[in-house]
Amino acid sequence: MTGRMRTALRRFREKWRSYRHRFVPWVVFNLSKNEKTLRRVTEPSEDKVIPDEQVSQSLLGLFRALLRNSGGLLLGAHANFTPRFPLHQEQNEGDVLFQTLGFCIERRPSSLAFAGTGVFVTRGFVPKGATVAMYPGTIYQPYEPILLQSIRNPFVFRCIDGVLVDGNDRGISRMVFRSCSGRDRLGPYLTSDASWLTDSPLNPLAVGQYINNCSNERPANVCYQEYDVPDSFPLELRQYLPNVNYSQHCTQRPLRCVVLVSLRDIRAGEELFSNYYTIVR
């Protein structure tokens, strides 16, 4: 084997070690070897760790605070909201998250070897059962084309019902999201948030695609939960939702989002690790 081939092989192995921690087929194949990475449910509805109403409450509280901080106005009954701490104008989004939900999360180099980027709690305290992050991306129904976007893409998340979420912030995936987001704008109102494609997302929860999978050595402290946005979700707050449907025809059904919910109390300095669920009949 030549030196050039050895170098190429070494680079491939290093890239694979990082890639595999988010590569769904590899994760599924290794579930039997890592029982701690698997959460079993008997019905799709049982993936709910907390009620959808509790997820809505957390998201609405944060989004209202973000809108107020940006100088926007809330409409009607949705204007009644009191944050956990007093808000000051023109704060950064991380400060708004901390003052609203009591914690901050950020992307940093993972503590897991060869896992690349991870997500850490950097300030505050996350209680068990809290909505910790959101998995951003384009939503694909099981029958919609995603082959080109999925090539070398470790950020495609599969829901229990086969719906896919493409959380890649680069390449074709990036262009598709921006296009769909602009398409669905309603007059002056944005109905999705494309800022998660940048290094400074307006919604500080929209970093869930960078949360690494757990292992036997690093048990999960958060888990995925599917969340369909209710029709009653305020129009002026949808601009902070980091998801958009691939097909315009899907706008008649509730927008699918995926949130990550804490399985235990999590303190500042801890990295977030997720697990997958499987249906057991």
**Domain range annotation of the chain:** 34-74+90-280
**HSE of 20, CA atoms in CB hemisphere, 13 A:** 16
Mean pLDDT of the chain: 83
DSSP element (H, E) containing 179: helix 171-183
CB distance 213 to 275 below 8 Å: yes
Residue 253: predicted pLDDT: 83
Q: Which of 73-77, 123-127, 132-136, 226-230 has the lowest mean pLDDT?
A: 73-77
Residue 9: predicted pLDDT: 58
Residue 17: pLDDT band (50, 70, 90) is: low
Amino acid, single-letter form, for residue 216: N
Question: Shortest CA distance to 135 belongs to which of 222, 215, 195, 224?
Answer: 224
Asked whether residue 262 carries a pLDDT value surpassing 90, the answer given is yes
Residue 71: predicted pLDDT: 83
Residue 149: pLDDT band (50, 70, 90) is: confident
Distance CA 214, CA 72 (A): 39
pTM: 0.80
Query: Is it true that domain 34-74+90-280 has CATH number 2.170.270.10?
Result: yes
Percent over 90 (pLDDT), the chain: 62
Residue 77: pLDDT band (50, 70, 90) is: very low
Residue 112: predicted pLDDT: 87
Distance CA 119, CA 42 (A): 30
